[in-house]
Amino acid sequence: MSISRRDFMQMVGLAAGSAALFTPAALARGLKRGALMEFAPKGQLTLLHTTDSHAQLVPMYYREPDANVGVGANAGQPPHLTGKVFLNRYGIKPGALGAYAYSSDDYLHLAKEYGKMGGFAYLAAMIKQVRAERPSKTLYVDTGDTLQGSATSLWTRGEDMVQVMNALGCEAMTGHWEFTYGAERVQELVKQMNFPFVAQNVHDATWGDAIFSPYTIKQVNGLAVAMIGQAFPYTPIANPRRFISDWSFGIQEDNLRSLVAEVRGKKVDLVILLSHNGMDVDKKLASRVQGIDVIVGGHTHDGVPEPVVVGKTLVIGSGCYGKFLSRLDVEVKGRKIVDYNYRLIPVMSSMIAPDPEVARLIETIRKPYAKKLDEVVCETDEVLYRRGNLDGTFDEVICDALVDHYGVDFVLSPGFRWGRTVLPGAVTAEDVYSQTALTYPNTYKAEMTGKQLRAILEDIGDNLFNTDPYRQQGGDMVRSAGLDFTVKLSAKAGDRIRDLTVRGRPVKADDKYSFAGWASMAEQSGPPVYDVVLDYLRKKRRVHPILTRPKLVA
């Protein structure tokens, strides 16, 4: 929902009237003043990091996954820990604030207790506090999926978030979903940025020239810090090629090695990779490319409370949706990290006062759209969420809407990891847009054979469960309505999908089936998915989605 004038004035009053970051609500919950930001400073440099906010300007709910399957060497390792296993690994007590922020355990109860998270006015307040505590020692960076994912970003084509990131004093950024605005628009947005957009792995597809600066070097408290950009390497595969038809991507290890050597030759003290690879890919990359001190990563939305150490590289996953602010303090001697302190800080918007300047900017951005965003389109009896390897209740709503609109045998809906969580009660238009606001939203109806269906599911399964992280593109299992199947993790590529049925009947290779979908790689002419879902919810008035989770066997 948008910020009402009353709430806005109250927020500004809280922020302007007290030097303390915390509101009375925080104290009522028993938090000591400053406890959320408590940190033992260390060394010469503080690195702050956000990622994968998907343009969520205001506080929201976001449920962490109850399933995050790791395969091969990553099975049972961070970030593939959930629930009680996660809490035990990091020494977090059930019911504590950390349990709410980092896991899906007892989610509804804890969401009602602790309230919404994120919001860029609140992030701004936290960043400003750290900068005040560590003057001339702080760098704030972002690793993308920042300019896309909300209604206002869709309607302003990313400009709203550029304004906000400029206001936060971001000092470097890379990207992924940003590229779905198209090459020309991306270049326009980059020109509006008061900070460098870096990407060593994006080149002209014909001539090989770099599209963006591969790195930037910044002097911070006597240290020369090189920040190399690593945009999402599989953008032309995971998203429509037509948006960036003249650009090439890829991991480009050799180019990265050369750049690390180049900046090391310039006597930098610290090399940081701003990555949108995904955490498993980052871990493999760190094992193969020497000389990177820190990888701050994004793409797979993994909030990991401690860095994963790979050789001499710290690999950091800072979650998503503005829920977290990573803080890494490092002590550097002889151009090496000799000590560090780290915390993945939950952005508890119910407990902190927002920055008044950024709050005003966000109010200005959202005001023209407030009525449209705030429309209550239905009620929900269940928690609506998306994030999870295998299913999500909001995905069920999207699939049900497509079945209702097209009357098909089954639906395939992409396993995106972005989309707000909605507690039982009102569902707004903004909630729907948070699941669907992309630049290729058109729906479609078509036919395919059973053989084609199986091939599609096998391909998606291989993307998710290939034991080589370099062959994983991120995301979750395709969502569906009308389908049942089993995924055998240990099977070879092409043989993972078992017991496939459509509407309860075994799929036959030569039979044809009608289906509907959206977010197609090809241009489609059907109505945008957000319109289909909004119309469906207005008609239903109340939803009670039932999960249809694929079976997973070892």
The Cα–Cα gap between 344 and 53 comes to 15
Phi-psi sector, 278: left (phi>0), alpha (psi -120 to 50), beta: left
Sign of CA dihedral 370, 376, 381, 387: negative
Question: What is 371-553's CATH number, 3.30.590.20, 1.10.3720.10, 3.30.470.20, 3.90.780.10?
Answer: 3.90.780.10
> Degrees (nearest 5) of the Cα angle 84, 300, 172?
125
Identity of the amino acid at 212:
F
Please give the pLDDT value at position 2.
Answer: 41
The pLDDT assigned to 146 comes to: 98
Q: What is the pLDDT of residue 473?
A: 83
CA dist 319 to 240, 322, 363, 442, 447, Å? Answer: 25, 8, 25, 29, 38
Q: How far is CA 26 from CA 33, 59, 97, in A?
A: 8, 16, 12
Query: How many Å apart are CA 413 and CA 537, to the nearest integer?
Result: 17
Q: Which has the closest alpha carbon to 19: 171, 141, 160, 125?
A: 125
DSSP state of 303: B
Question: How many Å apart are CA 419 and CA 389, to the nearest integer?
Answer: 14
For residue 510 the two structure tokens come to 């030569």
The pair of structure tokens assigned to 378 is 């239905």
Residue 365 CA to residue 361 CA, distance in Å, equals: 6
* Bridge partners for 515 per DSSP: 410, 446
Quote the CA–CA distance of 461 and 472 in Å, as a whole number.
10
For residue 237, what are the CA distances in angstroms to 233, 324, 402?
9, 29, 24
Handedness of CA 515, 518, 520, 525 (dihedral sign): positive
* Element containing residue 517 per DSSP (H, E): strand 512-518
Q: Give the residue from 216, 272, 212, 264 showing the smallest Cα distance to 48.
A: 272
- Beta strands 542-543 and 376-380 are parallel
Measure the CA–CA gap between 309 and 490, rounded to whole angstroms. 27
Helices (H), 318-443: 356-366, 370-374, 393-406, 429-436
* Sequence ranges of the domains in the chain: 39-60+116-351, 63-115, 371-553
How many residues in total does the chain contain? 554
- Tell me how crowded residue 386 is: count the other CB atoms within 10 A of its CB: 26
- The DSSP-derived string for 17-84 is H-S-SB-HHHHHTTPPTTGGG-----SSEEEEEE---TT--S-BB-PPPS-----GGGTTSTTS--HH
| Helix or strand run (H / E) with residue 521 | none
Asked whether the beta carbons of 517 and 511 are under 8 A apart, the reply is no
Distance CA 449, CA 328 (A): 52
User: Cβ–Cβ contacts within 10 Å for residue 239, how many?
Assistant: 20
Three-state SS at 535: helix
Considering only CA atoms, which of 397, 427, 425, 428 is closest in space to residue 413? 397
Q: How far apart are CA 515 and CA 481, in angstroms?
A: 10
Q: Two tokens at 8?
A: 């806005």
Kindly give the residue spans of alpha helices, DSSP state H, lying in 407-445. 429-436
Are 479 and 414 in contact by the 8 Å Cβ rule? The answer is yes
Nearby residues of 49 by Cβ (< 8 Å), 6 or more positions away = 140, 141, 142, 143, 296, 316, 318, 325, 326, 328
Place of tokens 């509907």: 516
How are beta strands 294-297 and 270-275 bridged, if at all?
Answer: parallel
Integer Cα distance of 498 and 480 in angstroms: 16
Give residue 22's pLDDT: 58
Written out in words, the top-level CATH class of the domain with range 39-60+116-351 is alpha beta
- Which residues in the chain land under pLDDT 70? 1-34
Q: How many CB atoms lie within 10 A of CB 305?
A: 21
